[in-house]
Amino acid sequence: MSQFWEFAFKNLFRNKRRTLSTATAICVGFVGLNLLGAYIYRSKKALDATSVYSAQRGHISIYKKNAVEQYQVKPRQYVLTKKDIEEIQIVLKQYGDSVDYTSTKLSATALISNGTKSYPVVVYGFEPESYKKSLQQKDLLLWAKDWVIPSQLENLDIFIQNPETISLTQRIGEVMALDYPFKSSEYLQLAGKNLDGDLNAINVLLGAEHTTGLQFLEDTVVLLPIQKVQELLSTDSVESFSIYLKTFSDTNDVIQKLRQHFDKMKLNYDVFRFDDVAINSMHQGTMGFLYVMGGFFVFLICTAVSLTIINSLTMGIIERTREIGTLRAVGFKVQQVIELFTKESILLAALSMLVGVILSFMICEIVNKLEIKFFPPGASQKILFILNWNVGIAASVFVLLMLVTWLSSYLVIKNKMKVKLISLINDSGENS
Amino acid sequence: MSHVVEIKSIYKSYLLGEVKVEAIKNLSLTVTKGEFTALVGASGSGKTTLLNLIGCLDNVDKGDVIIAQSDVKSLSEDQKSILRNEKIGFIFQSFNLIPVLSVYENVELPLTIRKNLDPEFIKSKVMSAISDVGLADFIHHRPDQLSGGQRQRVAIARALVTDPDLILADEPTANLDSKTAHKIIDLMIDLNQKKGVTFFFCTHDEKLMSRVQKIIKIKDGQIETV
């Protein structure tokens, strides 16, 4: 009934101060949740992009069955052979529409040395062509450009031009007392056990710098084209196969199909999503923390909004008891009175949140323009504090707070409607 | 003549603290369509209780209340709401107008909950009721912009707008000065005589009592004289 909305709207002006304070509480709650959502959204997008592209996992990683747990112990048994790769590629052809490109990865533990100083590192082997493609992906540049150092983006062809080139972090360079910026003519040696357990060593050319983005990996990880890592490990096999899809949204679908296919064909491969805890505990841990924190704040804000509405509406209803009685006397049913009062709260919440939409959007824009840099826990360098205002999050918060508002007001008025009609009419708190 | 109200041997008691008060005891009466009836009696005699029972605002302990051929006892709460909306109009001592609504909207209120009514029909009914009480120039005023007498006129228009079989008024002139009270009495009598509206009201106002067709005197919850 449109008159109910009109009536509800007029009632908002009955006690302007109370209406304003309730509206402020709802608006602040809405803005708070939106900003928190904007931060979590940005963090997730950045983590997704770095997991897929910077870390070269692809949207989907395929390993030999149980390789994630066993590769370090029995590497020869758990690598993907050339035959495995061919087998996977044949299967993948069925999903050609979704797949953008593929690559392989191989890691090894080794000792890096410049003749005077040696240092233990983990060598991540990658395909130079796909590395170049990955660092040029728009998702990475959009969400996590500041998680990649500029020289990485400037030297994308260096590994293609010279597959002997090794990339170090600045931290490893410091530990090894190398001149910084790195001189591209300096040869280093990598020594380690090959897959058969025999000692092996190769020469690599220092030529690039990278960051892992993570403090705990910054003094550990070096990057090297995969053929050099294979040379070090005396193998033509790889550790994992990465699939890069055209869109993130296809990931689960392709994973499901691949798993079904491998099961059906009795092929011994494990298929992981880029954020699977088995291969990317960092993503899971960070997002888990942010979701728990977000959930806690959602709970706090919903409780505060709910209590504000309950308090405000209870006060209003006490003052308007006789009015409720009058409405019932002229023929309003219990449900109609409940509807009238809940519409009042819903209208107030909607108006408050409309203001909140504008406010939260403006705050995001201002914060982003200020280009504030900060150190996220565990990060290797400062990154921009960016808040990505998102329609989906705003709509979800809107719906959530609407539900909270409706439920809170419904409970208050429903409780009041238990009072006998005659007691409502005879209430002395009338002000008309 | 058809009976708008038929009350048969009703009883009503309530608790005042821990004391049980017998407000109405074995009371029977009828109100015929077109009557202008005053219910009089001392304070605590049961006038308002009886009015509330007739208006389906409260339930009897025992006995039957039949309003416009509907046995109230057999009705659900929602059905009672519909009965109040369609058959009964209320005028309260303290007007009970909605402060945020205009005169027009206050009078329109009982019709807003009816389904499938043509907006033009609603408008004509509301304007007619407002004109009947002489407030056509005040339709956009809010209650706080009106005098006591004007507010009571709005309440009368709100009671009239649904063309009820019965208008119940609880001390309609109690909160008004004597001059305004006179005007309200004149208005009610006029509506009764010209439009045949049935009024049943309780009052202490002797001026009003002297001008009614029928007076029911109630004492200790029972009818003393008619």
CB nearest A333 (choices: B55, B81, B162): B81
Collapsed DSSP state (helix, strand, coil) of residue A211: coil
> Which among B85, B97, B143 is the nearest to A331, CB-wise?
B85
Of A133-142, A335-344, B67-76, B208-217, give the lowest mean pLDDT range. Answer: B208-217
Rounded Cα gap, residues A95 and A92, in angstroms: 5
For chain A, list residues with pLDDT below 50.
Answer: 430-432
Give the pLDDT confidence score for residue A428 in this predicted structure: 59
DSSP E strands: which ranges in chain B?
3-16, 19-32, 36-40, 62-67, 70-71, 88-91, 166-170, 199-202, 214-219, 222-225
ipTM (interface predicted TM) = 0.93
- Given a contact cutoff of 8 angstroms between Cβ atoms, the answer to whether B181 and B205 are in contact is yes
Nearest to A188 by CA among A199, A200, A201, A197: A201
**Buried b or exposed e, range A133-155, using 16+ CB within 10 angstroms:** bbbebebbeebbebbbbeebeeb
> pTM for the whole thing?
0.83
Q: How confident is the model at residue B129, as a pLDDT?
A: 93
Which residue of chain B has the CA closest to A421? B57
Q: Which residues contact B210 (CB under 8 A, 6 or more apart)?
A: none
Phi, psi of A96 (to 5 degrees): -55, -30
User: H or E element: which one contains A385?
Assistant: none
CB-based contact, A11 to chain B, within 8 Å:
yes
Q: CB distance from B108 to chain A under 8 Å? A: yes
Q: Is the pLDDT of residue B71 over 80?
A: yes
Sequence-distant (≥ 6) Cβ neighbours of residue B51 within 8 angstroms: B39, B168, B170, B200, B201, B202
How far B143 CA sits from the closest chain A CA (Å)? 7
Other Cβ atoms closer than 10 A to A113: 15
Residues 288 to 327 of A: which have CB under 8 A from any B CB? 322-323, 325-327
Whether A391 contacts chain B with CB within 8 A: no
pLDDT band at B211 (very low <50, low <70, confident <90, very high): confident
Cβ neighbours of A16 (radius 10 Å): 9
Whether B31 and B19 have beta carbons less than 8 Å apart is answered as: no
Strands B199-202 and B166-170 turn out to be parallel
For residue B149, give the nearest of B133, B136, B162 by alpha carbon.
B133
Which SS3 state, helix, strand or coil, does residue A252 take?
helix
Q: What pLDDT sits at residue A212?
A: 86
- Residues from chain A contacting residue B94 (CB–CB below 8 Å): 430, 432
CA atoms of A26 and A176, how far apart (whole Å): 56
d(C-alpha A195, C-alpha B39), whole Å = 108
Pairing of strands B70-71, B62-67: antiparallel
Supply the pLDDT for residue A1.
57
Q: Report helix, strand or coil for B21.
A: strand
Percentages helix, strand, coil for chain A (3-state, rounded to 5) are 55, 15, 25
Write down all domains in chain B, each with its CATH number in brackets: 33-62+72-223 (3.40.50.300)
The phi and psi torsions of B92 (rounded to 5 degrees) equal -100, 155
Give bridge partners of residue A106 from the DSSP assignment: A125
**B158 contacts A330? CB cut-off 8 A:** yes
B88, closest residue in chain A (CA to CA) = A330
- A-chain residues within 8 Å CB-CB of B81? 328, 331-334
Say what percent of chain B tops pLDDT 70: 99
Structure confidence at residue A248 (pLDDT) = 93
Looking at residue A432, its pLDDT comes to: 38
Query: Which pLDDT score, from 0 to 100, does residue A431 have?
Result: 40
What is the full DSSP assignment across B164-192?
-SEEEEESTTTTS-HHHHHHHHHHHHHHH
Q: Greater confidence, B207 or B3?
A: B3
Residue A428 belongs to what H/E stretch?
none
Give the per-residue pLDDT at B1. Answer: 58
Beta strands in B17-116 (DSSP E): 19-32, 36-40, 62-67, 70-71, 88-91
A196-229, pLDDT tens digit by residue? 889 999 999 998 899 888 888 899 999 999 999 9
- The per-residue b/e assignment along A262-282, b for 16 or more CB within 10 angstroms, e otherwise, is beeeeeebbbbbbbbeebbeb
pLDDT at B109: 94
Task: Report the SS3 class of residue B75.
Answer: coil
User: What pLDDT, on the 0 to 100 scale, is given for residue B177?
Assistant: 85
Quick check: helix, strand or coil at residue A116?
Answer: coil
| CA nearest to B65, candidates B1, B8, B22 | B8
B81-114: per-residue pLDDT in tens? 999 999 999 999 889 999 999 999 999 999 999 9
Alpha helices (runs of H) in A176-240, residue ranges in sequence order: 226-233
